[in-house]
Structure 1
Amino acid sequence: MAERSHYSLYIVQYTLTPSATMTELAAQLLESSQAPKIIQQVQAILHEEQNRRRAFYEWMDEDMKTEFINGEIVVHSPALDKHNLVVMHLGTLLNVFVSAHNLGAVRVEKALVELSRNSYEPDICYFGPEKAASIAPDSLYYPAPDLVVEVLSESKKKNDREVKFEDYAAHGVAEYWIIDPTRQTVETFSIDADTEAYAATGTFRVSQSVSSAVLSEFAIPVKSLFDNTANVMALRALLS
């Protein structure tokens, strides 16, 4: 079974165009005489992944920061302070703004977002009013957010820029921010209607402000994510 799984993944990875839409990928696959065999093998792989995912849910606990990505369990080590500072600063600003205007819900780190194949714990996520209404006090799993923010670190930046980048877009997460605490930049992305993938909407530095496409009136200085004094000033501005 293991050899068949690797073989099927090899076929899919190297014969399909990575930038194609879902419809185009399906059309390319169906052109192959091996399509039924490939589909059968992929289904077997995904079935086995779901078994491992159920085992992952039974194994994990609320004290762990862990994710299930493409069939593998990823356990995160404690983050550096510069990472934690950004999460705290932006999480506070977003939560205050959303709460003050009754715009939904914000969750920081310990929200397990369950997508069709993978389970993630984004650094910060925002749910609009409709999705927020579906979140019960005892909820363990969350739907695809409307905005996801990931703060880069050495251990997870590859997944943040590759697997999650594609997966969030494929599941309709309308906006994605990637924050680099070392370079002190914020990169923003929104789904392009034609490609169904993320398109870059800007890279913002400490001398600039950044705004959200999903939360149209949410605009903050980038410096407020990295500096305590600037964060307090931004918080006051949001409340004024």
Structure 2
Amino acid sequence: MIIEAVKAALDKEKETRLKFYDNITEEDKAEFINGEVIMHSPVMMRHNHVTGLLLRLLGIYVAREQLGFVGFEKLMISLTRNDYEPDICFFRQEKSAQFTGDQILFPAPDLIIEILSNSTQARDRGVKLKDYQAHRIEEYWIIDPKDETLEQYHLFGEEYQLVLKSRVGDVKSFVVEGFLIPIRAIFDNAENLKALQNL
């Protein structure tokens, strides 16, 4: 009976997920998490500012070095049960070479970056961290735009380990080869421009 109940629940979740795919549009910012559709509200200015500064650094570096593909905002990552739209993500060349222009669902990236907001931080530190870890996403950054802090997690074996939590100093990616930037460049315009010149 328990097995039948679990199967029925998963079948219902699958049906709800298919409806989610049918109903979302390019204008929506939405995720499917544990059977529930999560609609996201517009972000605060500081969230948008931090996303833009980091996206500029990472996007230019990856394009110049031809390392892969950087996705952001509404790019949907489809994992075993859940679908996420990370703020920023990176796929190595061997994965991104298979992508097509019409593709709307993407596999697990190699790096995910989430920018915290009041409405998302519990999921970013909870279900998302556990799910990203379970799907062996090698590197995960959590950025707090209010406290101007970066947390860098790296997969060791089966679990993430926090390797850096700081407001100052440099952060070096494990996944994006050679990508090293000052943490302040994620939050400060002048530092961002300096970092661009030094990439």
Q: TM-score range by the shorter chain?
A: over 0.9
Q: Give 1:108 deviation, angstroms.
A: 1.1
Residue of 26, 31, 37 corresponding to 1:67: 31
Taking the TM superposition and a 5 Å limit, the aligned residue runs for 1:170-209 are 170-193=134-157, 196-205=158-167, 207-209=168-170
* Equivalenced residues, count: 199
Q: Give 1:46 deviation, angstroms.
A: 1.5
Residue 101 of structure 1 corresponds to 65
Taking the TM superposition and a 5 Å limit, the aligned residue runs for 1:16-165 are 37-165=1-129
- Structure 2 residue matching 1:96: 3-state secondary structure: helix
Structure with the higher helix share, 1 or 2 = 1
Q: Give 1:198 deviation, angstroms.
A: 1.2
2:2 & 2:131 partners in 1: Cα distance? 21
- Structure 1 residue matching 2:161: 3-state secondary structure: strand
Q: Give 1:111 deviation, angstroms.
A: 0.4
The answer (yes or no) to whether the contact 1:68–1:119 under 8 Å persists in 2 is: yes
- Structure 2 segments unaligned to the other structure (5+ residues): none
Aligned pair 1:214/2:175, yes or no? yes
TM-score under structure 1 length normalisation: 0.81
- Specify which structure has the bigger relative contact order, considering alpha-carbon pairs within 8 angstroms and separated by 6 or more residues: 2
Residue-by-residue CA offset, 1:57-101 (whole Å, 9 max, x unaligned): 111100111000000000000000100011111111111111111
Residue 229 of structure 1 corresponds to 190
1:55 & 1:108 partners in 2: Cα distance? 24
TM-score under structure 2 length normalisation: 0.97
Q: Give 1:210 deviation, angstroms.
A: 0.9
User: Larger Rg: 1 or 2?
Assistant: 1
Sequence identity (%): 44
Q: Give 1:217 deviation, angstroms.
A: 1.0
> Which residue identity does 1:155 align to in structure 2?
S
2:60 & 2:53 partners in 1: Cα distance? 11
Taking the TM superposition and a 5 Å limit, the aligned residue runs for 1:4-19 are none
- Structure 1 segments unaligned to the other structure (5+ residues): 1-36
Residue-by-residue CA offset, 1:93-121 (whole Å, 9 max, x unaligned): 11111111110000111100001100000
Structure with the higher strand share, 1 or 2 = 2
- Structure 2 residue matching 1:116: 3-state secondary structure: coil
Q: Give 1:237 deviation, angstroms.
A: 0.7
